[in-house]
Amino acid sequence: MTQLFPGRFPATRLRRTRAESWSRRLVAETALSPNDLIWPVFVTHGDENEPIASMPGVERYSLKNIGRAAKEAYDLGIPLIALFPYTEPDKRSDDGREACNIDNLVCRAIGEIRSHAPDIGVMADVALDPYTSHGQDGLVDDMGRILNDETVAVLCRQAITQARAGCHMIAPSDMMDGRIGTIRNALDEEGFQAVQIMSYAAKYASAFYGPFRDAVGSRGVLKGDKKTYQMDPANSEEALREVAMDLAEGADSVIVKPGMPYLDIVSRVKQQFGVPTFAYQVSGEYAMLVAAAQSGALDQDAAIFESLLAFKRAGADGILSYFAPKAARILMQHDTIKP
């Protein structure tokens, strides 16, 4: 055998540090814990949870059960729950007025969570798509165009309503221009200076949102598409501009959505801005991993952790994932991921 390093071939052996589990854990560059997880939760009326067919293992939680679910999440070490409502068709309207009802489903769910798990963080989504009869995130004119500034005014009222209900964090996911600064000013003027804003700063017009629309009741409701306000999947420089604008307007943290197909965006955002950056492992990503596991194509637990680690490795400070409770349970059992 020809020796590249005569007499001491090779002096450096990278396999040495990979040879034993203890050593792999000792030199691991990326770590995952329950503190890195945000659990997106769907909530519905009634006394019983409702399974979501396109997201096996995920349910809409009833108001009766959402508090206990939040307590379980807190006990698992999950810091934050993100709430999304399933709105009945008779509560939807062209102007999405139910979004600003202090007695709406989200506000009542916030109250239930705060009473059962007062120390867990509660994040409320700010957008009109769960409440509009046309399924768009904003108001629509007679020509079908999304009205930016008129929508922002409604979003401010929605954010204040959620803050009054007791949420800790507002998450505008609508992608209207200027909404972060306007919402921040509105919250401050109403005395909610402590309420954080986690902005969906780089939210793409993605094919991976399908099961989510089932979960919130928008499947078949949406008229047209969302390409005039959600981002073009071809663009990355534009994502940095979106993030820069939202930070300048007062966002405390930012989200890149979807997650796995946009790890390059997560990395660029974190490197350029150095702010708390989160990735959303969206419903389509969840459904694909579950379907692959159910077919026997992959080991679900291993795939979950590998995907979550990928977000962390790319620079995400945390991940919104429907796998959050399952991942947290295994992490609590093993203290760490065993390589």
Please say if the pLDDT value at position 6 is more than 70: no
pLDDT of residue 108: 97
DSSP per position, 184-237: HHHHHHTT-TT-EEEEEEEEB--GGGHHHHHHHT-TTT--S-STTTSBPTT-SH
**Within a domain: 188:** yes
State the Cα torsion 239-245-248-252 to the nearest 10°: -50
Tokens of 300: 């679900």
DSSP 104-146: SHHHHHHHHHHHH-TTSEEEEEE-STTTBTT--SSEE-TTS-E
Does residue 8 surpass a pLDDT of 90? Answer: no
The pLDDT of residue 337 is above 70: no
- Which one, of 159, 161, 160, 72, lies nearest residue 108 by Cα? 161
Angle at 76 (CA atoms; ends 308, 263), nearest 5 degrees: 15
Read off the pLDDT of each residue in 300-321 and give the average, rounded to a whole number: 96
pLDDT at 219: 79
Beta strands 139-140 and 146-147: pairing type? antiparallel
Which has more confidence, 5 or 51? 51
Q: Looking at the domain assignment, is residue 10 inside a domain?
A: no
DSSP class of 61? E
The single-letter DSSP state of residue 335 is S
pLDDT at 52: 95
Whether residue 242 is annotated as binding a ligand: the answer is: yes
Q: What is the pLDDT of residue 140?
A: 95
Number of domains in the chain: 1
**270: annotated active-site residue:** no
Mean pLDDT of 196-203: 98
Q: Look at strands 80-85 and 59-62 and give their pairing.
A: unpaired
Q: What is the pLDDT of residue 3?
A: 58
The string over 225-255, giving b where at least 16 C-beta atoms fall within 10 Å of a residue's C-beta and e elsewhere, is: ebeebbbeeeeeeebbebbebbbebbbbbbb
Kindly report the CATH number assigned to the domain that includes residue 282: 3.20.20.70
* Over residues 83-102, mean pLDDT: 95
Say which residues have a Cβ less than 8 Å from residue 83's Cβ, sequence separation at least 6: 41, 43, 106, 109, 110, 113, 122, 123, 124, 125, 167
Range with lowest mean pLDDT among 43-47, 171-175, 184-188, 278-282: 43-47
Radius of gyration of the CA atoms of the chain, in A = 21
With cut-offs at 50, 70 and 90, classify the pLDDT of residue 339.
very low
Q: What is the mean pLDDT of the chain?
A: 94
Tracing tokens 């020809």 back to the chain, one arrives at 2
For residue 319, what are the β-bridge partners?
Answer: 37, 279
Q: What is the DSSP letter of 93?
A: B
In-domain check, residue 13: no
Q: Is 1's pLDDT higher than 70?
A: no
Q: Which of 91, 226, 257, 270 is catalytic?
A: 257
257 in active site: yes
In a domain? residue 11: no
pTM for this entry: 0.94
Can you tell me the mean pLDDT for 237-246? 98
Q: What is the pLDDT of residue 218?
A: 80
Averaged pLDDT for residues 263-281: 98
Higher-pLDDT residue of 160, 331: 160
In this structure, the dihedral spanned by the alpha carbons of residues 315, 280, 263 and 265, taken in order and rounded to 10 degrees, is -80
Is 16 among the domain residues? no
What is the reported pLDDT for 330? Answer: 87
Mean pLDDT over residues 190-208, rounded? Answer: 98
Region 110-137: mean pLDDT is 96
Region 138-161: mean pLDDT is: 96
Query: Which domain range does residue 113 map to?
Result: 32-334
